[in-house]
Amino acid sequence: MEDAPMKLYTNLFSPNARKVHAVAHALGIELETHTVDLRAGEQRTPEYLALNPNGKVPTLVDGDTVMWESNAIMCYLAGKGDTELWPKSAKRYDILRWMFWESNHLTNTLNVLFGQKFFSGGNPDQKVVERATKDFRKHAKVLDAHLANNTYVTGDTLTLADFSVGVAFGYAVPLELPLEGLDNINRWWTAFSATDSGAILLPG
C-alpha cells in the first residue's frame, strides 16, 4: 500500500510557510495542502491548536508525526532522502548555524517591520521602524560580508540555509529594506530568486 501524502497546513501569505513550499518543490516532494484561514482565525480553533499549540502556520503532518517550526519542517522533508540541500556531513552544522541566525536575528527585525508596515492601520511608529531597519541593516551586513567569499549561504552549493535566509529578501521593496551597497546579497538573491524554487519564496 502506498504511503499517504504528507499534509501541510499552510497559508501562502506566510513567509515561513513559503520556505517549506519552496524546499518541497526543490526536493520534488508533493504535499497535500490545507490553507489555514488566518484572517478568520482558523489557527486558533481547538482542532488546529491540537496540531500546533502555537496557533501558527506552517504545520506538517506525516502519518503520526506532527511537525511545526518551518526550519525544522524543511530539515524533516530533506531528511527523507539524500540531498545536497541537507547533506549527511558536518556541513549540516553550518546550515543549522544560518537557519538559527535567520530565525533569531533576521526574522526578528523583519517581524517588527511587518507589524508596523502592514498591521498598524496605516499608522506605523516611525521610531520603531527606524530601529528595526537599522537592526536589519546590521544583520544584513554580516551576511553580505560572508557572501563575499561564498556563492551560496553555506559555500558553493545551494542548501536549506539559502531558503531559510532568502525568504526575507523578497520583502526588500514592500518593507523598504536598506540593501544599498550590499552587492554580495544582491548578487546571490537575484540569482537564487530567479530559479523555480527560489521564486516560490517571493511574496505573491
Ligand X SMILES: N[C@@H](CCC(=O)N[C@@H](CS)C(=O)NCC(=O)O)C(=O)O
Q: Provide the binding-site residues for ligand X, judged by CB under 6 A.
A: 14-16, 38, 43, 55-58, 69-70, 103
Chain position carrying cell 507589524: 115
Shortest Å, Cβ 111 to ligand X: 7
* Cβ 124 vs Cβ 162: under 8 Å: no
Nearer to ligand X, 57 or 201 (CB): 57
Nearer to ligand X, 14 or 159 (CB): 14
Q: How far apart are CA 91 and CA 13, in angstroms?
A: 31
Angle value at C-alpha 72, between 165 and 145, nearest 5 degrees: 20
- Nearest residue to 66 (alpha-carbon basis) of 79, 78, 53: 53
Single-letter residue type at 72: A
3 state SS of 49: helix
Shortest Å, Cβ 20 to ligand X: 8
Chain position carrying cell 524543511: 74
Nearer to ligand X, 55 or 124 (CB): 55
Shortest Å, Cβ 85 to ligand X: 17
Nearer to ligand X, 136 or 182 (CB): 136
Shortest Å, Cβ 168 to ligand X: 12
Nearer to ligand X, 26 or 36 (CB): 36
Shortest Å, Cβ 11 to ligand X: 7
Beta strands in the chain (DSSP E): 7-10, 32-35, 59-62, 65-68
